[in-house]
Chain A
Amino acid sequence: MWYVTEQDTPSTRRERLRRILEDIAADNEEVEPPGELELNTSLTDDLGLDSLDMAEMTVRLEDEYGVDVFADDVVDEVGEVLEKLDR
């Protein structure tokens, strides 16, 4: 079961991803708060997400958009994640 609660546009998707990453950063001091997301921001190298953080991000996105962004290949940059959600 998944649903989108607000108007679904590229900018709302980016904002939603930013909020999820903020939540993850709030729970893990190793993760940098995302600030303004750039498309080439690396989730692992720039923000410091580890596999569990990535798994949480993926599950939360899947709950909202019905897309498993890691289903087919490894994604690491913000732009790659948003591209998966665009499909």
Chain B
Amino acid sequence: MTVFWTDEERGVEWTYERLVEELRSRDERRPVVYESDPLEVKLQLLLAVLSREQLTLLDAEFPTETIREIGYDPATVDETTPVSVEIETVDDLRDRLAATPDEWRLDLCTSGTTGTPEPVTQSFEGLTRSVRTGERFTDDVWAFAYNPTHFAGLQVLFQAVLNCNQMVYVFERSPSGIETDIRRHGITHVSATPTFYRLRLCRLESQCETVRRLTSGGERFEPSLRDKLSTLFPNAEFRNVYALTEAGSLLESDGETFRIPDRYTDRMRVDDDGELLIHQSLVTDETTAELNGEWFHTGDLVEFTDEDRFRFVARESDFVNVGGYRVNPHEVERRIADADGVTAATVTARESSVTGNILVAEVVPDPSTDPEAAVAAAEEAVSSLERWKQPRIVEPVEQLAESRSGKRIR
């Protein structure tokens, strides 16, 4: 019997047989899910797919005020509707998932660019575009390191379930708990945000040799982070994924730079402003994506490192105005995070009635580095930048402020 889900924090472990039994026994499901238990989120999603009914996933981190803003009544989101799922075996489960019709739809919310989450509609094809199945995947064991309602987490779920792989929920675990989980369950695959790698996985105390693949995406992944991870995970290949909630996974790379694959040369391009555009045929969320003619503006700015390879430098909306200058905090953050003695850094805009904004930085010193020395190293790292790009206040902190999703708060 293969384990489906392990959550050491909650003392839960289910096999795939138990999952099938549970899905069969349910006679109600929730069309709108606003739920903090990660296993229940998965059950509700699978119930919806198997019954071919639409589902809306709301992030449990959203305050009730946000739930109202996006058009739901917090008092009634838990209402249920009858459901019947007729599967007998684990093979039935996988076969029925694989045969999900094109019409099936999932609504989920992105964090948006204005601060208010924006609903996005996804098809099963979009959710599973990057899923690979076959013999060589049967022994994979996944660390589940995402918020259960986020797009990347859904991709891990389907990759695991369609190959009958175990998932170990590490999203809420401490670094030592993650290390224990990796050894106890022989985790082979980790997929997480760069922030999760920086703040949790980089703090493991010894090498983890069972891990064969590290996948990341969603933010810039600096080379120094990759170097640190290579030491801790000596047998792991690295894969960087560029995915959009509106379009699924689009680009893959083994490092920081990407190239547009041959199959997409007519459907992805970089415009004169350096923004990555994708053709409407790749957009799976046809209801809300903003198209300009046939092209969807991703809002992601890239710079070419050679003729056909580029790296992501910022989201267009990430720019801030400092005294009339357009500044990209990520550029500054990258330099500071690469400084000796600095484990992680965040650079944010602080409103100023004098210059509109100024940049401020928080740095997490390396355990062996004095906080003052880390601040000095951070200041030195940006000393060659224009003055308006230099953070005016640099503070040492024990850890960066982060939301439960592992994304740093800006």
Contacts and interface: CB of A to CB of B under 8 A. Distances in A.
B393 A60 contact: yes
Q: Is the interface of B mostly helix, strand, loop or mixed?
A: mixed
Contacts of B360: 59
Given A51-B355, A52-B358, A59 B350 contact: yes
A8 to B, nearest CB: 21
A71 interface: yes
Contacts of A70: 352-354
B323 A55 contact: yes
B304 interface: no
A59 B353 CA distance: 9
Contacts of B388: 52
Nearest to B354: A55
Interface of A: 27, 51-52, 54-56, 58-60, 68, 70-71
B392 interface: yes
B323 A51 contact: yes
Contacts of A71: 353
B410 interface: no
26 contacts: A27-B379, A51-B323, A51-B354, A51-B355, A52-B322, A52-B323, A52-B355, A52-B358, A52-B387, A52-B388, A52-B392, A54-B355, A55-B354, A55-B355, A55-B358, A56-B358, A56-B393, A58-B353, A58-B354, A59-B350, A59-B352, A59-B393, A60-B393, A70-B352, A70-B353, A71-B353
Contacts of A56: 358, 392-393
Contacts of B392: 52, 55-56, 59
B272 to A, nearest CB: 31
B199 to A, nearest CB: 22
A55 B360 CA distance: 11
Contacts of A68: 353
B375 to A, nearest CB: 12
A71 B354 CA distance: 9
Contacts of B393: 56, 59-60
B219 to A, nearest CB: 26
Contacts of B355: 51-52, 54-55
A27 B382 CA distance: 13
Given A52-B322, A55-B392, A59-B352, 15 more contacts: A27-B379, A51-B323, A52-B323, A52-B355, A52-B358, A54-B354, A55-B354, A55-B355, A56-B358, A56-B392, A58-B352, A58-B353, A59-B393, A68-B353, A70-B352
Nearest to B388: A52
A55 B390 CA distance: 13
Contacts of A58: 352-354
A52 B387 CA distance: 8
Q: For the complex of A and B, list the 10 residue pairs with the smallest distance between their C-beta atoms, beginning with the closest.
A: A55-B354, A56-B392, A70-B353, A55-B352, A55-B355, A55-B358, A54-B354, A70-B354, A51-B355, A51-B323
